[in-house]
């Protein structure tokens, strides 16, 4: 008996020595809104990553990949920075990922160079984030990316005078600038630009102001979450929809989980976005089937799950390229120019900006088989981040 | 002129929502001397129950309001017996704050666990949804309903507290509970009933105000400061005070949002500071 124990430990020791470099655990720290008002989107990070792992296993070569989740909760730069530090120092993660809010991503960025850690941003949508560190890659979207097509659509749909109403923070200001620049370049006129505080709940006075401006179209951006619903309802109930004022937005305002709550009154609202849950492709069907198989609810799927799914793909590629070693430059180089077909359509990582190029779709809220969906009606192919790339 | 009328109307309806939710808190603070930070949580429970009753049980809007109010009161009964009863009137403020904020966190966690983090809609009946043409502008029909609800609530409470037998006993218990006790008033029952009234009003406000303050797990904390501000500006325990404060603050907030939306809640808090400076006990507050 004693002998076999010795033998076993000897074997184990040999196993440890030979396996040390290659058969290890590589940790990926995911920072997302796991609780609080934006918990749905953190949950989607996890659903997307889980779907990728379920399909492709938790191993890259000999390396076992482990995802560790931390809760950013709200726009809270100090907390997010502390979480990132804890992940880097205590958990010794080799990659960081996730991040719902722009200010949080900005707070984490300075840590990346110091610790030689790549960050794959799975949501935060202000253009400048990728410029804060050469080790940042983004698989979500930016406001410029989704807004420029919206301004073009507004023009071709015959809008002449537009009122812009955006949330008063980074992405909102990006959206305002992108729309204004594009729409005015096409010959349209912006008659009102309102910046609404993030915690606005009563949009009645905003609607009154828009009405007084004489605009024929509203362009709006609010971060997906509780206030978007209030905005859409105020637009309908204050009679702007009935009097023919059109509403254009990025898809954040009409995320699929909110559509049943907006109700039939929302039918006809236009938005431009990079992902609709109803996107018709075999990749998307397989992706959604996988999430549902893992216990996710169809009605809770949002754009952050697909960004996380593609983000996990990018991280796997980085690990493969570096064979599990900490080499952020090589890891990031390996994914520059990477092309694949995502559940949202064909995408690629722009080698210059490290931001994802993707199709942006014009969608209309429609009722299909008794269910409200964002029906894609037009495709703008391979859109870059228009703030960083000119074509 | 039209614009001024429009803003006034928006302000009054927003103020009425604040009033309906805050009056329960005002009663708790004024009459029971409990700073009930869980008041928003009770309003939220009301909203969840109404949403559940309508969407999953197929109840109508009126029935859903009744279910929400009664259901929330039932849920609060064990809390009253086990916890709140110990902190009426006597305990220090810190104990009250810690206890009620703790209850709030528990309720937020449970709501998130049971109903999930998404918004829960309380669908409006056709008669109350959509725009209503009132001549010079369109207004959401629901806002008119909210204004009517607010007026009725204020009147009913005034009658209850100033004109009924219950009101007399309540005021006696509040003014001197030992004396009321020795006169044969069962103060314990009076307090329990008042607690139920405050919770029920919160739940009612949560349901009818859900269009402006949508129901989601963080509702309980998100709007708590606003409710507390209304009560302290109005003067705890005063119905007229809460009504005046709600309308004033509703108007200040709405006007500010119309004229200078980028200033956020600046005007709301400016109004609070000015009123608090001029009336340190609140508009209609009494010295205790």
pLDDT of res. A132 = 94
Q: For residues A368 and B140, what is the distance between their CA atoms, to the nearest angstrom? A: 27
Q: Do B130 and A36 touch (CB under 8 A)?
A: no
Angstroms from B168 CA to nearest CA on chain A: 39
Q: For residues B131 and B142, what is the distance between their CA atoms, to the nearest angstrom? A: 8
Please enumerate, as own/partner, the contacts of A1-7 that have beta carbons within 8 Å and a separation of 24 or more: none
Residues A57 and A110 in one domain: yes
Residues A209 and A312 in one domain: no
Q: For residues A218 and A207, what is the distance between their CA atoms, to the nearest angstrom? A: 10
Residues A72 and A207 in one domain: no
Q: A65 with A102: CB under 8 angstroms?
A: no
Chain B residues interacting with chain A (CB cutoff of 8 angstroms)? 3, 6-7, 10, 13-14, 112, 116-121, 123, 129-131, 133, 137-143, 211-214, 216-218, 222, 253-255, 257-258, 261-262, 264-265
pLDDT of res. B287 = 54
Chain A residues interacting with chain B (CB cutoff of 8 angstroms)? 35-40, 43, 168, 194-197, 199-202, 204-206, 208-209, 212, 226, 229-230, 233-234, 236-239, 242-243, 257-258, 260-261, 263, 265, 300
**Looking at the domain assignment, is residue A3 inside a domain?**
no
B5 to chain A: which residues are within 8 Å by CB? none
Q: Do B14 and A206 touch (CB under 8 A)?
A: no
Nearest alpha-carbon partner for A372 in A279, A238, A227, A254 = A254
Residues A234 and A368 in one domain: yes
Q: For residues A75 and A180, what is the distance between their CA atoms, to the nearest angstrom? A: 26
Phi, psi of A353 (to 5 degrees): -100, -15
Q: Do B10 and A208 touch (CB under 8 A)?
A: yes
Q: Do A239 and B129 touch (CB under 8 A)?
A: no
**Looking at the domain assignment, is residue A327 inside a domain?**
yes
pLDDT of res. A20 = 40
pLDDT of res. A9 = 54
Name residues whose C-beta falls within 8 Å of residue A378's C-beta, 6 or more positions apart in sequence: A153, A361, A362
Residues A233 and A366 in one domain: yes
A370: three-class secondary structure by DSSP: coil
Tell me how many domains chain A contains. Answer: 2
Instruction: CATH number of the domain at A67, please.
Output: 3.40.50.2300
Q: List the single residue in B with minimal CA-CA distance to A43.
A: B117
Residues A193 and A227 in one domain: yes
Angstroms from A367 CA to nearest CA on chain B: 18
Nearest alpha-carbon partner for A274 in A148, A163, A135 = A148
Q: Do A238 and B140 touch (CB under 8 A)?
A: yes
Q: List the single residue in B with minimal CA-CA distance to A255.
A: B118
Nearest alpha-carbon partner for A104 in A142, A67, A132, A76 = A76
Residues A166 and A252 in one domain: yes
Please enumerate, as own/partner, the contacts of B159-163 that have beta carbons within 8 Å and a separation of 24 or more: B161/B239
Q: Do B131 and A202 touch (CB under 8 A)?
A: no
Q: A172 with A166: CB under 8 angstroms?
A: yes
**Looking at the domain assignment, is residue A350 inside a domain?**
yes
B7 to chain A: which residues are within 8 Å by CB? 205, 208
Q: For residues B185 and B100, what is the distance between their CA atoms, to the nearest angstrom? A: 28
Residues A18 and A108 in one domain: yes
Angstroms from B44 CA to nearest CA on chain A: 14
**Looking at the domain assignment, is residue A2 inside a domain?**
no
Q: For residues A123 and A50, what is the distance between their CA atoms, to the nearest angstrom? A: 17
Q: Which domain holds residue A300?
A: 8-141+280-354
Residues A157 and A117 in one domain: no
Q: For residues A186 and B235, what is the distance between their CA atoms, to the nearest angstrom? A: 56
Angstroms from A97 CA to nearest CA on chain B: 22
Residues A204 and A288 in one domain: no
**Looking at the domain assignment, is residue A391 inside a domain?**
no
Residues A176 and A251 in one domain: yes
Q: A300 with B116: CB under 8 angstroms?
A: yes
Angstroms from A226 CA to nearest CA on chain B: 7
Q: What are the 10-residue block averages of pLDDT along chain B, 288 residues in total? A: 81 90 89 88 94 89 94 93 82 86 93 82 81 78 90 92 88 84 86 92 92 85 88 86 91 87 82 88 70
Burial of A353 (0-12, 13-18, 19+ CB in 10 A): buried
Half-sphere exposure of A9 (CA within 13 A, CB side): 5
Q: Among B7, B117, B214, select the one facing A43 at the smallest CB separation.
A: B117
Q: A228 with A255: CB under 8 angstroms?
A: yes
pTM: 0.78
Burial of A66 (0-12, 13-18, 19+ CB in 10 A): middle
Q: Do A257 and B118 touch (CB under 8 A)?
A: yes
Q: A136 with A166: CB under 8 angstroms?
A: no
- Which of B261, B262, B265 is the best mutation test for A, with the most CBs of A within 10 A? B261
Residues A225 and A242 in one domain: yes
Q: Among B118, B129, B258, select the one facing A209 at the smallest CB separation.
A: B258
E strand or H helix that includes residue A98: strand A95-98
Phi, psi of A29 (to 5 degrees): -90, 120
Tens of pLDDT along chain A (391 residues) come to 455 555 555 545 444 444 444 468 999 999 999 887 788 899 999 999 999 999 999 999 899 999 999 999 888 899 999 999 999 999 999 999 999 999 999 999 999 999 999 999 999 999 999 999 999 999 999 999 999 999 999 999 889 999 999 998 888 999 999 999 999 998 899 999 999 987 787 888 899 899 888 899 999 998 876 678 888 888 988 888 888 899 999 988 888 888 887 788 788 889 999 999 999 999 999 999 999 999 888 888 999 999 999 999 999 999 999 998 999 999 999 999 999 999 999 999 999 999 999 999 999 999 998 899 999 999 999 899 988 887 7
């Amino acid at each position: 008996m004693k002998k076999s124990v010795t033998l076993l430990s000897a074997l184990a020791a040999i196993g440890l020595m030979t396996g040390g470099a290659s058969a290890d655990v590589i940790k990926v720290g995911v920072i997302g809104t796991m609780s609080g008002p934006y918990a749905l989107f953190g949950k989607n990070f996890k659903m997307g990553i889980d779907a990728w792992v379920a399909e492709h296993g938790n191993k890259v070569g000999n390396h076992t990949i482990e995802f560790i989740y931390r809760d950013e909760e709200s726009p809270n730069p100090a907390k997010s920075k502390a979480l990132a530090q804890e992940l880097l120092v205590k958990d010794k993660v080799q990659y960081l990922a996730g991040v719902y809010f722009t200010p949080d991503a900005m707070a984490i960025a300075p840590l990346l160079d110091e610790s030689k850690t790549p960050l794959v941003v799975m949501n935060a949508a202000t253009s400048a984030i990728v410029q804060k560190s050469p080790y940042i890659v983004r698989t979500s979207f930016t406001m410029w990316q989704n807004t420029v097509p919206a301004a073009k659509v507004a023009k071709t749909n015959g809008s002449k005078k537009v009122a812009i109403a955006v949330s008063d923070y980074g992405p909102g200001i990006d959206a305002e600038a992108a729309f204004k620049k594009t729409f005015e370049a096409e010959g349209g006129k912006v008659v009102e630009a309102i910046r609404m505080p993030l915690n606005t709940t009563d949009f009645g006075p905003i609607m009154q102001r828009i009405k007084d401006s004489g605009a024929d179209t509203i362009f709006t951006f609010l971060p997906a979450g509780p206030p978007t619903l209030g905005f859409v309802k105020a637009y309908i109930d204050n009679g702007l929809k009935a009097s023919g004022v059109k509403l254009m937005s990025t898809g954040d305002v009409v995320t699929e989980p909110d559509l049943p709550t907006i109700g039939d009154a929302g039918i006809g609202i236009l938005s431009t976005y990079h992902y609709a849950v109803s996107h018709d492709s075999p990749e998307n069907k397989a992706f959604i089937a996988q999430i549902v198989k893992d216990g996710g609810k169809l009605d809770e799927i949002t754009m952050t799950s697909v960004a996380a799914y593609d983000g996990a793909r990018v991280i796997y590629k980085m690990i493969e390229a570096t064979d599990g070693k900490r080499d952020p430059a090589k890891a990031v180089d390996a994914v520059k120019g990477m092309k694949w077909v995502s559940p949202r359509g064909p995408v690629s990582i722009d080698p210059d900006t490290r931001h994802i190029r993707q199709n942006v779709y014009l969608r209309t809220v429609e009722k299909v088989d008794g269910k409200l969906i964002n029906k894609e009606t037009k495709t703008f192919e391979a859109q870059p981040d228009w703030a960083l790339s000119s074509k | 002129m039209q614009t001024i009328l429009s803003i006034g109307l928006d302000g009054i309806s927003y103020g009425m929502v604040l009033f309906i939710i805050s009056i329960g808190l005002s009663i708790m603070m004024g009459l029971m001397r409990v700073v009930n930070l869980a008041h928003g949580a009770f309003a939220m429970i009301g909203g969840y129950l109404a949403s559940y009753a309508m969407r999953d049980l197929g109840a109508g809007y009126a029935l859903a309001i009744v279910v929400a109010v009664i259901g929330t009161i039932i849920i609060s009964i064990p809390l009253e017996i086990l916890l709140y009863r110990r902190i009426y009137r006597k305990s220090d403020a810190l104990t009250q704050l810690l206890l009620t904020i703790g209850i709030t966190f528990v309720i937020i966690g449970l709501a998130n666990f049971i109903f999930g983090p998404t918004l829960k809609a309380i669908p409006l009946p056709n008669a109350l949804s959509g725009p209503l043409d009132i001549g010079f502008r369109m207004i959401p029909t629901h806002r008119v309903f909210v204004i009517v609800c607010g007026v009725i609530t204020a009147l009913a409470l005034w009658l209850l507290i100033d004109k009924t037998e219950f009101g007399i006993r309540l005021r006696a218990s509040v003014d001197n509970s030992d004396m009321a006790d020795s006169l044969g008033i069962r103060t314990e029952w009076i307090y329990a009933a008042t607690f139920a009234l405050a919770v029920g009003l919160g739940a009612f406000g949560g349901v009818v105000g859900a269009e402006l303050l949508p129901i989601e797990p963080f509702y309980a904390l998100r709007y708590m400061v606003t409710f507390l501000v209304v009560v302290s500006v109005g003067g705890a325990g005063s119905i007229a005070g809460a009504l005046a404060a709600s309308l004033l603050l509703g108007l200040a907030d709405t006007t500010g949002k119309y004229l200078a939306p980028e200033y956020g809640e600046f005007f709301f808090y400016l109004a609070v500071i000015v009123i608090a400076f001029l009336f340190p006990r609140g508009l209609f507050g009494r010295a205790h």
